[in-house]
Amino acid sequence: MLGVDQAVSALLEQARPLVQAEAVPLTGALGRILAEDIVAAIDVPPADNSAMDGYAFQHDDWPGEAAALPLSLRIPAGIDPEPLPAGTAARIFTGAHIPPGADTVVMQEHCTASARDVVIGRCPDRGANIRPRGQDITAGDRVMRAGRRFDAQGLGLLASLGLAEVPAYRRLRVAVISNGSELIEPGEIAAAGQIYNSNRYMLAGLLGDWGFEVQDMGIAPDEPAAIGELLQSAASAADVIVSSGGVSVGEEDHIKNVVADLGAIDLWKVAIKPGKPFAFGRVSETPFIGLPGNPSSVLVTALIMARPYLFACQGRDDGRVIPVKKVAKFALAGSPRQTYLRAKSTPDGVECHPRQSSGVLMSAVWGDGLVVQAPGQDIEKGEEIDFLPYAFLA
């Protein structure tokens, strides 16, 4: 059996970006992935400017705490100031450029001003309250690396460089197929023997949160020729195919034979719990990921194994995540497989849902992440353990 880390590494070795770059307006870039490194073309801020509302002056001109400096200029933010005449001060506002001839700003709270002059009661150090040109960014700095997701601060940073358009990868298209002749869709009436398809909605949700375009192929019919047609249309519509169910060794599991006929498929034995059956292959040249059928197994294998692979196909650099340390509020003997326990964090530790059956989604809705239990690791109450918040896997 492959260890989980081995399996993820093996998947990543076969992954490469499957999408081209395109120019995207900054206003539409949230959640997209930067396709090229960004090098700053300008300094930010573009000039020395005032960190507060106050008075700009030349430090050498300070006449002492009781004498006044005449006011010669008024500089609101947004204008290009004239030089400051020697022996005078300028009224200045937050963000306004420092005039040539001034080297210090005093905050207005330390001054007594009239319309004509200002008494600087307490003289700050030379250079005080000035944000220097290039403090944030210097032209030529590499400010962002390809592979980064555009988040709010990234958008703000690129806006501050004046970029109205950015190079982003096209969104990865992922086809979703649900296998199982017992499945019907929500809203239909379930006959005896039938159950509602939940994996389709869960997978669409995960893929949507990951910023992909979801091609929903519906439920695969229980008939090889029809499955083959569905797979071929998924292969031409999408960059990657993800299916749930139908990949164990049972004689009712047709999909693996059909994928083998149309391309190639490997059944992987991964030491992961929940989630034993995992298939990886291709339909024509389109990568195919076959997840288990039980909802919790789908959730765990999607988060732990499919996610890093799909992120790499999208050109994202953040597929691998670092767990946080939490104190266990439970004890649990280890298993031979690496176990992902549906768990909930509290201010003083982490609790584990009492029912960890792979068919049960309630535990994943109840909690906010997964405890990672290494093969053979017995968890003692009070011990520090690894916890993966779902928020880190979004």
Applying the rule CB under 8 A, the residues between 75 and 94 that interact with its own copies are 76-81, 93-94
Stretch that binds its own copies, among 63-71, 168-176, 234-242, 245-253 (CB under 8 A): 245-253
C-alpha triplet 388, 393, 394: angle, nearest 5°:
140
Single out the residue of 41, 264, 331, 394 in contact with its own copies (rule: CB under 8 A): 394
Element (H, E) at 298: helix 295-301
For the bound state, the minimum distance from the C-beta of residue 151 to its own copies, rounded and expressed in Å, comes to 6
Single out the residue of 13, 22, 82, 151 in contact with its own copies (rule: CB under 8 A): 151
* Residue number with CB closer to its own copies (14 or 346): 346
Q: Identify any residues that bridge with 173 across adjacent strands, giving them in sequence order.
A: 213
Applying the rule CB under 8 A, the residues between 111 and 130 that interact with its own copies are none
Q: How far is the C-alpha of 349 from the C-alpha of 188, rounded, in Å?
A: 42
Contact 61, 70 (CB under 8 A): no
The separation between CA 290 and the C-alpha centre of its own chain, rounded to angstroms, equals 24
* Residue number with CB closer to its own copies (208 or 224): 208
Single out the residue of 13, 37, 82, 185 in contact with its own copies (rule: CB under 8 A): 185
Stretch that binds its own copies, among 59-67, 177-185, 328-336, 371-379 (CB under 8 A): 177-185
Applying the rule CB under 8 A, the residues between 25 and 84 that interact with its own copies are 26-27, 30-31, 42, 44-47, 51, 53, 76-81
Terminal alpha carbon distance of the chain: 28
274 preceded by a cis bond (ω within 30 of 0) = yes
Residue 131 token pair: 């944000």
* Residue number with CB closer to its own copies (229 or 386): 386
Stretch that binds its own copies, among 13-21, 95-103, 226-234, 305-313 (CB under 8 A): 95-103
* Residue number with CB closer to its own copies (222 or 351): 222
| Residue that the structure tokens 């709010």 belong to | 152
Applying the rule CB under 8 A, the residues between 277 and 296 that interact with its own copies are 293, 295
Applying the rule CB under 8 A, the residues between 246 and 265 that interact with its own copies are 248-252
* Residue number with CB closer to its own copies (271 or 283): 271
The site string for its own copies over 347-386 (x = CB under 8 A, - otherwise) reads x-------x-x-xxxx-xx---------------------
Residue among 150, 149, 156, 143 at smallest CA distance from 318: 149
Single out the residue of 203, 343, 352, 388 in contact with its own copies (rule: CB under 8 A): 203
Helices (H), the chain: 4-13, 152-160, 199-209, 224-237, 255-262, 295-301, 307-314, 362-366
Residue 62 token pair: 């300070």
Stretch that binds its own copies, among 14-22, 182-190, 259-267, 374-382 (CB under 8 A): 182-190
Q: Identify any residues that bridge with 244 across adjacent strands, giving them in sequence order.
A: 178, 291
* Residue number with CB closer to its own copies (124 or 282): 124
The number of residues making up the chain comes to: 394
* Residue number with CB closer to its own copies (87 or 208): 208
Q: At what angle do helices 224-237 and 255-262 cross, to 10 degrees?
A: 60
Helix, strand and coil content of the chain, in percent to the nearest 5, comes to 25, 35, 45
Q: Does 165 sit near its own copies (CB under 8 A)?
A: yes
Gyration radius of the chain's alpha carbons: 30
